Amino acid sequence: MAATATAEAGSQWPFSCDLEVDFGHEQHADIVCAALAVDKELQPDKVKRLMTVSHGKLSAHFEATEARFLRASFSAFIDVLTLATKTIEEFGQEMEL
C-alpha cells in the first residue's frame, strides 16, 4: 500500500491536500471508501472532502479555510483509514474477489 500527500495549487479554498492509497483490489478500496464516507465533516462550511475509487486506489481530496481545520480533518481521516486498512489486511484474504 502506498500513500502520498501533496499540496494542491488551484483549490477553491486556500489550504488543500490530496491522498492516494493503492489497495490493489477495487473491492477493498470500495469497502474502505464506504466505511470512511459514513463520517461526514463536522464543519462542512470550513472543510470539504471528496473521495473517489479507481483501479483499486482510494483518492481523497481535502480543502479547508484554515490550515488547522485541514490538519484536524486529515488526521481524523488517517486514523479511520488506518483502522479500515488493518481490518482489510486481517480479514481481506478470506473475502471473495
* Residue 83 resides in a domain: no
Edge to edge, the sheet with strand 47-54 lists: 3-6, 15-22, 57-64, 47-54
Domain interval for residue 30: 1-66
Q: Is residue 71 part of a domain?
A: no
pLDDT tens-digit map of 26-80: 999 999 999 999 988 889 999 999 999 999 999 999 999 999 999 999 999 999 9
Total count of domains within the chain: 1
47-54 and 15-22 beta bridge pairing: unpaired
Q: Let me know if residue 31 belongs to a domain.
A: yes
In this structure, is residue 45 part of a structural domain?
Answer: yes
Whether residue 47 is contained in a domain is answered as: yes
pLDDT band at 7 (very low <50, low <70, confident <90, very high): very low
Confirm whether 27 is domain-assigned. Answer: yes
Q: Identify the sign of the CA torsion 33, 38, 40, 42.
A: negative
pTM check: above 0.85: no
